[in-house]
Amino acid sequence: MSSKVIGRGLCPKCGGEGSIVLKEISGKIYVYFKHGQKWCYVGPLSEVNLSSLILTLENYHSFTTKFKDIKKVFGELHMSKALMFVLGISLILSAYSLSTNVNLSGLALALTVLSVLTFSTLIAFYELSPLPRIKYSYLALILSKGLYYYLIFTFAFVAITFIASLPLTSPYSIVVNVQGNVLSYSMSISLSTLLLTSMVVAFLQRPLRNKGYIIYFIIPLSFVFLMLLGAIVAQDTLDIGYLRFLALSTMFLSAITIALAFAISTFINVLKSILVGEARL
Ligand SMILES: [Zn+2]
């Protein structure tokens, strides 16, 4: 027999507040309320609407797979409210994006913003869900081989995302222009590309927890690499003008990507606090 306190709530038997305890007895899970020394039996988990009883949740991360039924209960509780919240923001942002331009680049940016919001929401749900016990298992596997490997993986992932999202358009772009001695260098990167790259940065930061800032050092490296690759492919001479261009564009792109990644991470954390706050209502 194992038992686990999952949070606090209002007891349907006596009306008092207490700790909600799940007990597993010969393969079945039963819900109990504990008011100090006094215990109330509520019923088998399958017949109890936990979401209507719970005031606060605790120990998200200590659930075992034996309590997987709870995932369904909380999954729905979280989904319905948060999806509306995200939908609201998404629609406002889409409207802004579309109103800036009548052609399709505005639509592209709107859809990019929508996808970034959707992914952020998924991350928030994932991190709040009681299961699985090991979060980000694939990324954690790479991380378990060493931070060095994880940073190389991050570097590659960021570079691939950046290149893959280059065809995306947006009414807003970052333009870097440098006049060299002979040639002039110019580059335009759409906001859609930077948003998706930032999303990937925000995602790859999550398993690192409070060491996540390390990824910020990888960002300029990725951009320098991409720029040099571009120069080699174009067989440009690496003159002073190009090096100035390289430094300037790396600085701008890194600063914007890091700022956006920070904003996305903050959004995920705000979403999570809203979701946990809802469980208290
Ligand atoms: Zn009671």
Domain shared by 107 and 43, yes or no = no
Give the whole-angstrom CA distance, residue 202 versus residue 157: 12
Instruction: Find the 55 Cα to ligand 1 centroid distance in Å.
Output: 14
Strand order in the sheet with 28-35: 38-44, 28-35, 17-25, 2-10, 54-57
Instruction: Find the 42 Cα to ligand 1 centroid distance in Å.
Output: 8
Instruction: Find the 39 Cα to ligand 1 centroid distance in Å.
Output: 6
Task: Please report the pLDDT score of residue 165 as a whole number.
Answer: 81
Instruction: Find the 20 Cα to ligand 1 centroid distance in Å.
Output: 10
Instruction: Find the 33 Cα to ligand 1 centroid distance in Å.
Output: 6
- The answer to whether position 43 is within a domain reads yes
Instruction: Find the 235 Cα to ligand 1 centroid distance in Å.
Output: 77
Instruction: Please state the length of the chain.
Output: 281
Both tokens assigned to 245 = 């261009």
- The answer to whether position 178 is within a domain reads yes
Task: Please report the pLDDT score of residue 236 as a whole number.
Answer: 61
Domain shared by 137 and 195, yes or no = yes
Domain shared by 7 and 133, yes or no = no
Instruction: Find the 149 Cα to ligand 1 centroid distance in Å.
Output: 52
Domain shared by 167 and 225, yes or no = yes
Instruction: Find the 275 Cα to ligand 1 centroid distance in Å.
Output: 26
Task: Please report the pLDDT score of residue 281 as a whole number.
Answer: 44
Give the whole-angstrom CA distance, residue 4 versus residue 24: 9
Please tell me the total count of domains within the chain: 2
- The answer to whether position 161 is within a domain reads yes
Residue 12 is part of which domain span?
A: 2-58
Q: Which of 21, 56, 27, 55 is nearest to 41 (CA)?
A: 21
Instruction: Find the 35 Cα to ligand 1 centroid distance in Å.
Output: 7
Tell me how far apart the terminal alpha carbons of the chain are, to the nearest angstrom: 31
- The answer to whether position 69 is within a domain reads no
Domain shared by 196 and 98, yes or no = yes
Instruction: Find the 13 Cα to ligand 1 centroid distance in Å.
Output: 5
Task: Please report the pLDDT score of residue 109 as a whole number.
Answer: 84
Domain shared by 122 and 188, yes or no = yes
Domain shared by 200 and 119, yes or no = yes
Residue in the structure block whose two tokens are 């997987």: 68
Domain shared by 273 and 152, yes or no = yes
- The answer to whether position 64 is within a domain reads no
- The answer to whether position 119 is within a domain reads yes
Instruction: Find the 127 Cα to ligand 1 centroid distance in Å.
Output: 31
- The answer to whether position 66 is within a domain reads no
Task: Please report the pLDDT score of residue 60 as a whole number.
Answer: 45
Task: Please report the pLDDT score of residue 156 as a whole number.
Answer: 93
Instruction: Find the 49 Cα to ligand 1 centroid distance in Å.
Output: 15
Alpha carbon dihedral 225, 230, 234, 240, in 10-degree steps, equals -60
Local confidence pLDDT in tens for the 281 residues of the chain: 678 888 778 888 888 888 888 888 887 888 999 998 999 999 988 788 776 677 666 544 444 444 555 555 555 555 655 676 677 678 667 766 766 665 777 887 888 888 888 888 878 877 776 544 456 778 888 888 888 999 999 999 999 999 888 877 788 888 888 887 777 888 888 898 899 899 999 999 998 888 888 888 889 999 888 888 877 777 666 677 888 888 899 999 999 999 999 999 999 988 888 877 655 44
- The answer to whether position 63 is within a domain reads no
Task: Return the CA Rg of the chain.
Answer: 25
Domain shared by 135 and 230, yes or no = yes
Domain shared by 116 and 156, yes or no = yes
Instruction: Find the 44 Cα to ligand 1 centroid distance in Å.
Output: 15
Domain shared by 100 and 227, yes or no = yes
Instruction: Find the 25 Cα to ligand 1 centroid distance in Å.
Output: 20
Domain shared by 198 and 98, yes or no = yes
